[in-house]
Amino acid sequence: MRTGVEKSVKGALLLGSLAFAIRLLPGPRTIDDAFITFRYARNIVNGLGFVYNEGQRVQGTTTPLYTLLIAALSIAFSTQNHPWLSLSLNALCDSISAALLYKLGEKLSDNPSVGLFTSLLFAFSPMSVTFAIGGMETSIYILLILSTFYLYCIGKTRLSVASCALAVLTRPDALLVALPLFGHMAISLRRVPWREAILFVILLAPWVIFATLYFGSPIANSIVAKSAAYRLHPMSAFVRLIQHYSVPFFEHRLFGRFWPAFGFPLYLALYAIGSLNLTRRNGRSIPLVLYPLFYFIAFSCAKVLIFRWYLAPPLPPYFLGIVQGLWAVTRDIKEAFKRPKLEAIFCFLALALLAFELNAWEISPDDGPRRPAPEMAWIKLEELYKEVALELRGEVGASTLIASGDIGVIGYYTDARILDTVGLVSPEVLSYYPLDPSLYVINYAISPDLVEDYSPDYLVTMEVYVRNGLLKSPSFLRNYRLIKSLETDIYGSRGILVFKRVV
């Protein structure tokens, strides 16, 4: 018995260590949105308060817990190297998540290899690694979600509820974890789980009270802004999620763009089979297997732009269901044909999924550090914005107003006041949206009236955001001079443009 436990612990530690090393390998490849969180954390440490712009109390981040953790680490280690602080924290969180996935698979399946391969798939997952090294809150969010499900599966209900509450403080969409969790509790207990609900509310209450008093509302302004500023097709989120659930292992890079037509029904069937197997063995796994479905439905119905990091949270439970389904099908075939060696097919197919993921990595990316990294972890746009920010930093001060639609890098490296033309940290701009459809080239455009009314000292923008608006405005062209243009075709743009007010 002790030997089995020791092997399980060693396996979890090895897989956790592997996941940690895989995330340290590429080094920080920080994406623009992470720099927003970093600026909030830096202002907290520097005594300016929980603000983005000094003196302006706006909750422009949806991840208060992660922001506070980054600030605490900055104080503890006496450094403001936020990209490395976040990478270290994220690597640690993902290492624990890999170990939890191994333990979940081991506990819920009749084959320990299910936990092994699920953990490996998570460890090498381009989607997971990209946002761990990208400085986002995704890693701690996934850890808290998996911790919630694991603790519930082993009967630690109140600890599970506590973990769920922390997940909500990391990202509010963790309410999609709370829904199946409390629903299953109510059904299994045949009563309303009042004690657990009270614990959940007590843990959330301090932040809700603080945010209401400090910001005026517990709801992050960024949630409202993203809904208002972007012009979206009603089915865009649904289509994006269908594509995502069809290629969880990046198979399309090998099989082409038509793979989703085959991949979606295949993985949905495997997930259904695997989920039934998991819940039969442990009824407390029902919230775990329902979560990817709840996530799909909720985000498909929400009229929001699906950013890439929104796609990562449902993947670990999805992986577990698929791998368990693969094992169940292989086992049934083996028993039907009386061929014991067919078990090797399961290992072969699971390794094939891992190979698909590895195919989505680059040995030497052409942007950022020349170290192995997922192909999707590109930071070409961030590097261009950083070039602009470092040039402006010598010309601007704390009172300089810079307007931009992508504020992360620009705000972090200039320390200037930022007019966020999307409205994440500048709620005053929301009244300017939605715009006339003729102003859009893609799903976002900067309002010409906004720039005219606030007269920022500088405007830093992708050309595609202003092509049909500001660049055709005689007033803007009279009052602003183009001082820099950086070549790029990202988002179909004709460059990054930097304008300075001259009148």
Q: Which sequence spans correspond to the domains of the chain?
A: 2-374, 380-501
pLDDT of residue 224: 84
CA atoms within 13 A on the CB side of 287: 30
Spatial distance between the Cα atoms of 61 and 413, rounded to a whole number of angstroms: 18
Global pTM value: 0.95
pLDDT of residue 110: 77
Largest Cα–Cα distance in the chain?
A: 84
Structure confidence by residue, pLDDT tens digits, 298-350: 999 887 888 999 999 999 999 999 999 999 998 888 777 766 666 788 999 99
Q: Is the peptide bond before 434 cis (omega within 30 degrees of 0)?
A: yes
| Residue 168 pLDDT | 98
CA 264 to mean position of chain CA atoms: 22
Q: How many CB atoms lie within 10 A of CB 233?
A: 10
| Strands laid side by side in the 417-420 sheet | 417-420, 401-404, 458-462, 496-501, 480-486
The confidence score (pLDDT) of residue 276 equals: 96
* Per-residue model confidence (pLDDT) at position 9: 81
Residue-level pLDDT at 344: 82
**pLDDT value for 76:** 96
| Rounded alpha-carbon distances, angstroms, from residue 419 to 155, 450, 461 | 49, 10, 12
Q: At which residue do the structure tokens 């972007």 appear?
A: 230
Neighbours of 389 (CB within 10 A): 23
Q: In the prediction, which pLDDT does 113 show?
A: 92
Distances, alpha carbon 258 to alpha carbons 243, 252, 400, in Å: 10, 8, 49
The Cα–Cα gap between 128 and 315 comes to: 9
Sign of CA dihedral 43, 48, 51, 55: negative
pLDDT at 403: 97
Distance CA 262, CA 405 (A): 38
Q: What is the pLDDT of residue 367?
A: 87
**Tens digit of pLDDT per residue, the chain (503 long)?**
456 667 778 888 999 999 999 999 999 999 999 999 999 999 999 999 999 999 999 999 999 999 999 999 999 999 999 999 999 999 999 999 999 999 999 999 878 899 999 999 999 999 999 999 999 999 999 999 999 999 999 999 999 999 999 999 999 999 999 999 999 999 998 889 999 999 999 999 999 999 999 999 999 998 888 888 888 888 889 999 999 999 999 999 999 888 999 999 999 999 999 999 999 999 999 999 999 999 999 999 887 888 999 999 999 999 999 999 999 998 888 777 766 666 788 999 999 999 999 999 999 999 888 999 999 999 999 999 999 999 999 899 889 999 999 999 999 999 999 999 999 999 999 999 989 999 999 999 999 999 999 999 999 999 999 999 999 999 999 999 999 999 999 999 999 999 999 97
Closest CA to 115 of 245, 249, 250, 16: 16
Q: How far apart are CA 434 and CA 446, in angstroms?
A: 10
pLDDT for position 341:
67
Q: What span, in angstroms and rounded, lies between the C-alpha atoms of 303 and 236?
A: 9
SS3 (DSSP) at 384: helix
